[in-house]
Every structure is written in C-alpha cells, then in structure tokens.
Structure 1
Amino acid sequence: MTPWNRVPGMSERAALRDQAADWVVALHQADGRERAELERRCQAWQDQDERHRTLFRQMQTLWNSLDADPPRRARPGLWVLWLLIGLIAWQLPWTLWRGDAHTGAGERLVIDLDDGSRLTLDAGSAVRLDLNADLRRVHLLRGRVFARVAKDPNRPFQIVTRHGLAEALGTEYSVRLVDGATRVAVKESSVRVTPAGHPSAARVLRAGQGATLTRRTVSPPAPLPPGGFEWRRGRLVFNDAPLSRVLDELGRHRPGLLLASPSLPEGLHFTGVLPADDSDRALAVLADALPVRVHRLTAYAVWVGGR
C-alpha cells in the first residue's frame, strides 16, 4: 500500500484528499507491527503540512461515523468512503487554503488588524489580506466578513470579491459571497460599491442599506431586514424565510451534511431566532415550529423530512 500515490493530471488538492482517505483505509486494515509502522508514517505525513492533518481528521471522522453502529455490521468498504467523499467534497476547504485566515463549519473568528480595524469572519469563510502603506485590501474568498474600519484618510479600505469591491467611507459593514453574487450590507456610515466589469455603475450605500453586486451591476439600495448583523453574536434571525434558506444557513454552521427531503411540504416558512452555535437545538426548534421531522443518519449526516 502506498498512501501517497498521485494520479497523473490530478490537482494537488484532489491528490491530498485521496492521500488522506488512503491513510484512513490503510490504518483500519492493518494490524500488529504493520499498523505501528503505518501510524508512524502517517503521523510524519500529517506533520508535513497542516492541510494533511485537517484532511486526515475529516476522513477519519467520516469512517468512524460509518462504523459506530452495531459490531455485527460489516466494516464499510473503500467504495463507501469514496461515496461519502463525493457527497461532501463541496464542503471541504479547498478555497480556504488560499486564505490568510479562515473558519470552518460553526466557527467565527475575530481578527484585529495593525491599523486598529477589526474583521469578523462568519462560518465557512476565508480572507486574504493585502495591507501596505497605500491601501488596505481584504480579499473575500468565501463566506462572509464584517469590517469595523479604523479611519485612515491616506489608505483606502476595500473588501474585494470576484464581482467587484466595497470601499469603506469610514464605516462598519459586511460583505458576503452567495448565489453567484456579492451582497453588501452597511451598519454605519457609508460604502461605495463598484462592479469589477463596469466601474461607472458604482453606487454609494448608506447605513441600514444593502445591495447585490455582480461583475456588471449593483442593485438599487434596499432597506436591510432586522437582525442582519446578529450572526456575529451567534444568532441567526429569520423573518418569514423559506425553510430551504433556513436549512442552507444552518448547514453552514454544522459539520457534515444537513439534507432536506424532496418530499418536504411546499410553502414552509420560519420566523424566529436560531442559535448558530448549537445546530441540534436549532433543528429541535424547527421541528417544534413546523411540520418536519429530523432524522440523524450518523453524527455527521442529518436528514430533514416531513412528518
């Protein structure tokens, strides 16, 4: 068994994922002296790079969740592990590896910058920082970031996504990548939002306003719904939100898979506040408020269906 084999033409990210899965399978199949040697080599592989360690733990968690039920059940084969990898590959943090700071599912991170500004990263987010004597630029690679900007008239502060940029005019605001666009929400002061492909379409948003940015357009400013910044305190606020959107949001704050049954009743909406830091309690609230039932397939796979 050679856990570090790489298929020709495979990307580095895919190769690392496969190496981690190979190590998990090899360790579960080994015994005695062979296992001790494999453990030593696997640990050395993990020590080479934090990405190795993170992926190994993810693959090990998947395997253990499959094998945690009655002992009479046959040990899952390698094909089962690959099936699960295919189901959750979109959740793995390939994009996060490019960032200077990132968060996983259910995590938030506060970053104090040298200029006195403060960033708050939402769950499943990543940023790359470009701070110099002329410009303060935060590249949002994934998820959402909230910025409380320290004044510095000689150095503009910008949050940049693939769709364009949101430049602070002395302010507090959030920027989020979602649904093929960028959403900007202003808490205090104002923000200039500029599409990457059409700079003349820039708009200025005021406190309490939000807009959606694409590479060519900025939507007209619109009032923000109540509670839009409460995620920083671990609270998810919904006002007559479709259940699908509620589950999507909860899924960002829960490790593993949160799946919605196609048979869920149509037209279900939810109004209320859910705890971002306790997804099990949040699901229990939904089950009490709506005609849905929560099925836990494993510790890392939850299915929400109708009653």
Structure 2
Amino acid sequence: MSGTDGIRDRAADWVVALHEAGEAERAELERRCQAWQAEDERHRRVFHEMRTLWDGLMPERPRRSRAGVLVVWLLIGLIAWQLPWTLWRGDAHTGTGERRVLVLDDGSRLTLDADSAVRLTLNADLRRVRLLRGRLFVKVAPDANRPFQVVTRDGTAEALGTEYSVALEGERTRVAVRESSVRLIPAARPAAARVLHAGEGTTLTRTRSDAPAALPPGRFDWLDGRLVFNDAPLKEVLARLSRHRPGWLLASPALPSDLRFTGVLPADDSERALAVLGDALPVRVRRITPYVVWVD
C-alpha cells in the first residue's frame, strides 16, 4: 500500500470511529484524532476531505448506523477506481488472499504475495522486476551476462546470486535475504549502496538504507501460507491479515496501543485467524457484512 493509500485508510478509520463513538469515549478519540492530524499536513487534509464527503452523504449523521461504515469505504473505492489500474496491475499481479509463482524465461522463480503487482523487463542485457505494490520473493537463476534487479520507488535490490524478498511497507521498502547476498542501491544516492548478506534484512529509502539486522523468525512465513508474529502490535497483525481476505478489515482507533500478539495465523483461512485473535486477546470482532469486519 502506498503512503497516500495508508493515510486515506487511516482517515476513514477515524471518521468511522468518531461517528460510532459514544459520549464517554468521544473526547479521548477527538484528542487522539487531532494529534494524528498534527503529525502531517497530509493527515489533516485527507481527514477533512473524508469528513466533508461523509457530511454531504449523511447530513443527519444518525448515530450508531453501521451502514455508515460502508459509505466511507465506498468513497475510498470510488477514489481508487479512478486510478490508472493498467499501470497499477502491471504485467503480473495477485488478488486478495492469492499467492502466485512465476517461472521467468531464465529459470528464475518469482513468488508474489497477496495483493501484489510487478512489471517485467527481460532482455539480452538485463533482468528487471519492478515491484508496483505488495511483496515478492525471488530465487534467481545464475546468468553472468544479465544482472537481476528488483526495483521499487526507493531504489534497487540487485541479486548477487541469491534468494531474497522485497516488500513495499508504508513509506519504505523492506529487503530480506535468505541465501547469498544483495546489493542495495538508494534511488537518489547510488553512492550509498551497501551489501546485505544471508540472514539479514533492512529498510531502503530513496536516500539511504538502514544498518542490516538479523532477520526475526518467520520472515518468509507467507511462502507456505503462515503468518508468524512475535509480540507484534495488534494493528500490525490486522494489517497483514487484511491482505489475505476480501473486503475490509478495520481496526478501531480506540484499540489500546499495548495489545500485542504472539503466535501463528493461517494466511489462507482468515475466518479461523480472526477466531484465534478473538480467543487470544480482549477484542470484539464484528462482522458488519461478509466484506466489512470491525475490530474493537
């Protein structure tokens, strides 16, 4: 998900939460929403756009209307529908809850995670995979005459004969190496390139890459349909799970920030995953429709 998409989703969450809030919790939610808006001018602008659209469609603002949740997300869908989907879908893509393995003409194997898209450039001089959204894992076939590169908006992860994953996460690109090594090249500062070795991971921006760190257990869990978490914030858990189910999985802004989860969830059975979370944590999972789930 791009940074703008993440802001839009968060703004929609705030609009819904404030609409649904009772008198006892409204003041605290208003305070937290104001703090979020103050973090970035884009937060404030997108939030007010969302709220204006909401007010225009629901002038009476009836309280506790679950249908209101759908209104905001239909608006998001309408905005998304206007995006250049031919570009966004790329040469190969996956939908929600789908994984796909591609065998390239050189024998390299490319695995796309759920809700991912790539554009391919394969010629006599170069093998390039541009990640447009989501995450991929690649097992590179040796070819001394054609470099293999995975490129994102932040830079390039060039294989040095290897297996590695590349993911777009918020405002950054995350790279993790399972075998051999990868050269990371920031888009705006090629001279700041560094090499990442097996068992290491880091984040890449347009100007730098962070110092390598040892990979946590389960970094490649999604390849076999598992989602492994170790003391992960609940909102991070829900964000990952949402890539593997249709519709919208919404986390209430009122969820306590200290709610964390350790365990393994099935990526291919999101209903069972939600049941596990409901049993393990003091949360309520509300199925507003089969395609809209609200966790508070």
- Which bin holds the TM-score, normalised by the shorter protein? 0.7 to 0.9
Instruction: Judge conservation of contact 1:125–1:143 (CA < 8 Å) in 2.
Output: yes
Q: Which range is displaced more, 214-223 or 264-273?
A: 264-273
Distance 1:90 1:277, change over 3 A: farther
Distance 1:93 1:129, change over 3 A: farther
Please report how far the alpha carbon of residue 172 of structure 1 lies from its aligned counterpart in structure 2 after TM superposition. 0.2
2:229 to 238, 247, 263: 238
1:115-134 to 2 correspondences below 5 Å:
115-134=106-125
Please report how far the alpha carbon of residue 96 of structure 1 lies from its aligned counterpart in structure 2 after TM superposition. 5.5
Please report how far the alpha carbon of residue 87 of structure 1 lies from its aligned counterpart in structure 2 after TM superposition. 3.7
Q: Does 1:202 align with 2:207?
A: no
Residue aligning to 2:177: 186
Distance 1:282 1:91, change over 3 A: farther
Q: Does 1:277 align with 2:268?
A: yes
Percent same amino acid at aligned positions?
Answer: 67
Matched AA of 1:104: G
SS of residue paired to 2:284: strand
Instruction: Judge conservation of contact 2:233–2:257 (CA < 8 Å) in 1.
Output: no
Scaled by the length of structure 1, the TM-score of the pair is 0.71
Q: Quote the Cα distance in structure 2 between the aligned partners of 1:247 and 1:95.
A: 27
Q: Quote the Cα distance in structure 2 between the aligned partners of 1:143 and 1:248.
A: 12
Residue aligning to 1:163: 154
Residue aligning to 1:100: 91
SS of residue paired to 1:231: helix
Instruction: Judge conservation of contact 1:95–1:142 (CA < 8 Å) in 2.
Output: no
Q: Which has the higher contact order (CA 8 A, sep 6+)?
A: 2
Displacement over 6 Å in runs of 4+: 79-82, 90-93
Unaligned 5+ runs, structure 1: 1-75
Q: CA RMSD in A?
A: 2.0
1:254-269 to 2 correspondences below 5 Å:
254-269=245-260
Matched AA of 1:293: R
Unaligned 5+ runs, structure 2: 1-66
SS of residue paired to 2:102: strand
Scaled by the length of structure 2, the TM-score of the pair is 0.73
Please report how far the alpha carbon of residue 116 of structure 1 lies from its aligned counterpart in structure 2 after TM superposition. 0.5
| Count of aligned pairs | 228
Residue aligning to 1:85: 74
Instruction: Judge conservation of contact 2:179–2:197 (CA < 8 Å) in 1.
Output: yes
Cα offsets for 1:170-200 (capped at 9, x unmatched): 0000000111111100000000000010011
